[in-house]
Chain A
Amino acid sequence: MALTMFEKIWRRHVVVDRPDGYTLLYIDRHLMHDGSAAGFARLRARNLKLRRPDRSFGTPDHYVSTGGRGLAAITDGHHRGIVAAMARNHADHGFTVFDIGDERQGIAHVVGPEQGITQPGLTMVCGDSHTSTHGALGALAFGVGSSEVTHVMATQCLWQRKPKAMRITVDGALGFGVTAKDVILAIIARIGAGGAIGHVIEYAGSAIRGLSIEGRLTLCNMSIEAGGRAGMVAPDDTTFAYLNGRPFAPKGAEWGAEWDRAMAFWRGLPSDDGAIFDRDVTLDGAAIAPMVTWGTSPEDALPVTARIPDPDTAPDAAKREGMARALAYMGLTPGTKLEEVAVDRVFIGSCTNSRIEDLRAAAAVVRGRKVVVPSWAVAGSGLVKRQAEAEGLDRVFLDAGFEWREPGCSMCVGMNGDLGTAGQRIASTSNRNFVGRQGRGVRTHLLSPTMAAAAAVTGRFTDVRKLATA
């Protein structure tokens, strides 16, 4: 029988199948961040041990300061305590840690792939919804709440009902200036913020296969914004080349046959020809333009060439009211060209777009220009930051007037205090334009790193394709 990749990985991880349709699923790797301290507190309260410290990896990201390094840079006492708990829990439980002060520290969803912790065919969880990111390497990875974090700590398993499988195929060549971020925003605009509820998405097609791993990470990262339980891309030579030599990946030839055994396993993972998906969606990659969101849901995305939509064109009263409410919050007038909308701030960073390729692409736009609004570039990990500095990208950003900050989640969620002020309009490479996400009353527009860079140097949304050819 022809199987989907998701089905193959699921079957390999079944510990117990109950007659009532519930499965006890084994979790191969557990990523933990500062917020996982709550899970350890519950573990301690029940006098339980971390079952598999060898399968558990921690790095603080949500509460760390991006304005300075180390615990001392965290001014809020509660937050400092949450971050400091990582070291204490490490001492008690002995998992692998990339703690504050370690150059490998960063956003969990940047660090996992970077260290080779994320691998094809594995099941992974983290107490964070953007765990879907790791599917880019062909892992089945999803976010869980803090009770299930505790459950995985204690048992290395989770109770799950098998989700449905959905395939989103994007064929055709992406146009000049069109990135993985634009692809995923176009997908969410098409299927809606709840379009993939209950499904694991497999992204397929020539446009997807043509993406780098970093592009695939951006793509899978926002699966949750379409409601998807997880998002995945079949592993291929691009995947294997990316993994080779990473610290936690299987070792190469000099270590014996480990790499070859892993490769044999990985090559068997892609969906079989004829595998049946519960849902199929297709998009024409060549038709996708650089995207910008205009509203307060990631589904409110349009090509940068478009105009702010008019609620009067909505299909029903509820939609009309929803659009009007979003536009009122966003301070936008129907019919205005997106390219005429001025921004107050720019944020390049987050688990969606803070990897080295994101920074290179943004720097290429910024080079030789000056920002006209306050702009931040926040690398996803200490290693990304070091690499960028080795390539001189920090100088490009700094010379243009950007702030070049320490790694962390930063303004994506603002839990560390990196927030905008009410009424500010922020061009952001993050993943959520929810009301108040970047601060109360703040207006967030999601876009790609190159589009964010274009906004930084022009002070408004600008079709980066014009800027690059100018």
Chain B
Amino acid sequence: MDPFTTLAAIGLPIDLPNVDTDQIIPARFLGRPREEQAPALFHDMRRTPDGALRPDFPLNQEGFRGAGIIVAERNFACGSSRENAVTVMVDNGFRAFIAPSFGDIFFGNCFQNGALPVVLPAERCAALRSALHAKPGARIAIDLAAQTVTGPDGAVDRFEIDPFRKDCLLRGVDAVTLTLGYEADIAAFEARQREELTWL
């Protein structure tokens, strides 16, 4: 997995609350190979039924071309467990998400793909989105080691992250490899459980 250390990129504002993973990638694209899924990001929000790009969706606007950080509203990426919601983002160049809250499963899936979900207070997210709307193409900088987000106006917000998740991202640690190192503990647990829950 690619490490995540710092990221400075154009910010893309998504103003709606409760944006679910069906919006991020509709279910009809999930049965396709990953390389065919990339154009499906925000497909139905981004395109009219006849396939034309909607000019009012920020992702389609010239000023946000090349964006790499999404600033969203509460309960971002709620709904289904589809990890494609993270991989389609990563494949479109988005590796960090800033929101007041996230769907729990999406939040966990980010760390499996070298992506960083950042929780900031709702009013800070709103201020960042306003700044991005006011000046499309404005950049946001994230420093994971320092746990800071620097907005377009230079204001710095500190964010919280689990030390474990932080360390895994900084080093690009693969969780399976890490866990296989605990084989003795897992085997000991299984031996204990065989004695206790004999019917399993």
Q: Which residues of A contact B (CB under 8 A)?
A: 15-16, 18, 20-22, 24, 26, 28, 35, 46, 48, 55, 63, 76, 78-79, 82, 122, 127-129, 131, 143-148, 150-151, 154-157, 159, 161, 163, 192-194, 197-198, 224, 227, 229, 250-251, 258-259, 261-262, 265, 297, 299, 318, 322, 325, 413-415, 419, 422, 432, 434-437, 440-441
Given contacts A26-B189, A161-B162, 18 further A-B contacts (CB under 8 A): A15-B186, A82-B31, A122-B200, A144-B81, A144-B105, A148-B112, A151-B175, A155-B179, A159-B164, A159-B179, A261-B199, A265-B196, A265-B197, A414-B27, A435-B22, A435-B23, A436-B44, A441-B49
The verdict on A145 contacting B44 (CB below 8 Å), with A22-B162, A258-B198, A415-B30 known, is no
Judged by a CB distance under 8 angstroms, whether B108 is at the interface is: yes
The verdict on A150 contacting B162 (CB below 8 Å), with A15-B189, A422-B49, A435-B44 known, is no
Residue from B31, B79, B164 having most chain A Cβ neighbours under 10 A? B31
Q: Which of B2-10, B57-65, B96-104, B148-156 contacts A (4 or more CB under 8 A)?
A: B96-104
Q: Which residues of A contact B130 (CB under 8 A)?
A: none
Q: Which residues of B contact A415 (CB under 8 A)?
A: 27-28, 30-31
B182→A194 contact, CB < 8 A? no
A-B contacts, 12 of them at CB < 8 A, read A15-B182, A24-B185, A24-B186, A35-B30, A127-B81, A129-B79, A145-B83, A147-B112, A159-B164, A197-B104, A227-B78, A258-B198
Q: Which residues of A contact B105 (CB under 8 A)?
A: 129, 143-145, 224
Q: How far, in Å, is B122 (CB) from chain A's closest CB? A: 10
A24→B179 contact, CB < 8 A? yes
Residue of A nearest to B113 (CB): A147
Q: How far is the CA of A145 from the CA of B113 in the complex (A)?
A: 11
Judged by a CB distance under 8 angstroms, whether B180 is at the interface is: yes
Q: How far is the CA of A128 from the CA of B174 in the complex (A)?
A: 22
Q: How far is the CA of A78 from the CA of B186 in the complex (A)?
A: 37
Q: How far is the CA of A441 from the CA of B48 in the complex (A)?
A: 10
Q: Which residues of A contact B81 (CB under 8 A)?
A: 127-129, 131, 143-145
B18→A297 contact, CB < 8 A? yes
Q: Which residues of B contact A299 (CB under 8 A)?
A: 18
Q: Which residues of A contact B109 (CB under 8 A)?
A: 145, 147-148
Q: Which residues of B contact A261 (CB under 8 A)?
A: 198-199
Q: Which residues of B contact A63 (CB under 8 A)?
A: 31
Q: Which residues of B contact A122 (CB under 8 A)?
A: 200
B200→A28 contact, CB < 8 A? yes
B182→A193 contact, CB < 8 A? no
Q: How far is the CA of A26 from the CA of B32 in the complex (A)?
A: 32
A148→B26 contact, CB < 8 A? no
A194→B175 contact, CB < 8 A? no
Q: How far is the CA of A265 from the CA of B197 in the complex (A)?
A: 9
B18→A193 contact, CB < 8 A? yes
The verdict on A145 contacting B108 (CB below 8 Å), with A76-B31, A155-B179, A432-B79 known, is yes
Q: Which residues of A contact B83 (CB under 8 A)?
A: 145-147
Q: How far, in Å, is B196 (CB) from chain A's closest CB? A: 8
Judged by a CB distance under 8 angstroms, whether B91 is at the interface is: no
Selected from B28, B32, B86, B193, the residue in CB contact (under 8 A) with A145 is B86
Q: Which residues of A contact B30 (CB under 8 A)?
A: 35, 415
Q: How far is the CA of A434 from the CA of B198 in the complex (A)?
A: 43
Q: Which residues of B contact A148 (CB under 8 A)?
A: 108-109, 112, 175
Q: How far is the CA of A35 from the CA of B180 in the complex (A)?
A: 24
Q: Which residues of A contact B28 (CB under 8 A)?
A: 414-415, 419
A193→B78 contact, CB < 8 A? yes
Judged by a CB distance under 8 angstroms, whether B17 is at the interface is: yes
The verdict on A15 contacting B108 (CB below 8 Å), with A193-B18, A434-B79 known, is no
Selected from B112, B163, B164, B185, the residue in CB contact (under 8 A) with A15 is B185
Residue of B nearest to A52 (CB): B190
Q: How far is the CA of A346 from the CA of B13 in the complex (A)?
A: 37
Residue of B nearest to A23 (CB): B164
Residue of A nearest to B80 (CB): A129
A155→B176 contact, CB < 8 A? yes
A197→B20 contact, CB < 8 A? no
Q: How far, in Å, is A189 (CB) from chain B's closest CB? A: 13
B22→A154 contact, CB < 8 A? no
Judged by a CB distance under 8 angstroms, whether B52 is at the interface is: no
Q: How far, in Å, is A85 (CB) from chain B's closest CB? A: 12
A46→B176 contact, CB < 8 A? yes
Residue of B nearest to A229 (CB): B104
Q: How far is the CA of A79 from the CA of B76 in the complex (A)?
A: 29
Residue of A nearest to B189 (CB): A15
Judged by a CB distance under 8 angstroms, whether B134 is at the interface is: no
Q: How far is the CA of A270 from the CA of B99 in the complex (A)?
A: 36
B18→A194 contact, CB < 8 A? yes
Q: How far is the CA of A170 from the CA of B16 in the complex (A)?
A: 31
A145→B185 contact, CB < 8 A? no
Judged by a CB distance under 8 angstroms, whether B82 is at the interface is: yes
Q: How far is the CA of A127 from the CA of B179 in the complex (A)?
A: 19
Residue from A18, A46, A150, A318 having most chain B Cβ neighbours under 10 A? A318
B78→A20 contact, CB < 8 A? no
Q: How far is the CA of A131 from the CA of B104 in the complex (A)?
A: 13
The verdict on A151 contacting B78 (CB below 8 Å), with A18-B164, A157-B186 known, is no
Q: Which residues of B contact A143 (CB under 8 A)?
A: 81, 105
A434→B17 contact, CB < 8 A? no
Q: How far, in Å, is B200 (CB) from chain A's closest CB? A: 6
Selected from A82, A146, A198, A318, the residue in CB contact (under 8 A) with B104 is A198
Judged by a CB distance under 8 angstroms, whether B92 is at the interface is: no
